[in-house]
Chains A and B, each alone.
Chain A
Amino acid sequence: GDSVTQMEGPVTLSEEAFLTINCTYTATGYPSLFWYVQYPGEGLQLLLKATKADDKGSNKGFEATYRKETTSFHLEKGSVQVSDSAVYFCANTRAVGGSNYKLTFGKGTLLTVNP
Chain B
Amino acid sequence: SQTIHQWPATLVQPVGSPLSLECTVEGTSNPNLYWYRQAAGRGLQLLFYSVGIGQISSEVPQNLSASRPQDRQFILSSKKLLLSDSGFYLCAWTGGAGDTQYFGPGTRLTVL
**A interface residue numbers (CB < 8 A to B):** 32, 34, 36, 41-46, 49, 89, 93, 95-96, 98-103, 105-108
Contact = CB atoms under 8 A, between A and B. Distances in A.
16 contacts: A32-B100, A34-B100, A41-B108, A43-B104, A44-B90, A44-B103, A49-B100, A95-B99, A96-B57, A99-B32, A99-B96, A101-B99, A102-B49, A102-B59, A105-B43, A108-B43
Interface of B: 6, 32, 42-44, 46, 49, 51, 57, 59, 90, 92, 94, 96-97, 99-106, 108
Contacts of B59: 102
Given A44-B90, A107-B43, A100 B51 contact: yes
Contact of A43 (B49, B51, B97, B103): B103
A29 to B, nearest CB: 12
Nearest to B95: A99
A89 B44 contact: yes
Main secondary structure of the interface of A (DSSP, over half): strand
Nearest to A102: B46
Contact of B94 (A89, A101, A106): A101
A105 B100 CA distance: 13
Contact of A99 (B51, B57, B90, B102): B51
A22 B7 CA distance: 34
Given A105-B44, A106-B43, A108-B43, A100 B32 contact: yes
Contact of B106 (A42, A93, A98): A42
Nearest to A34: B100
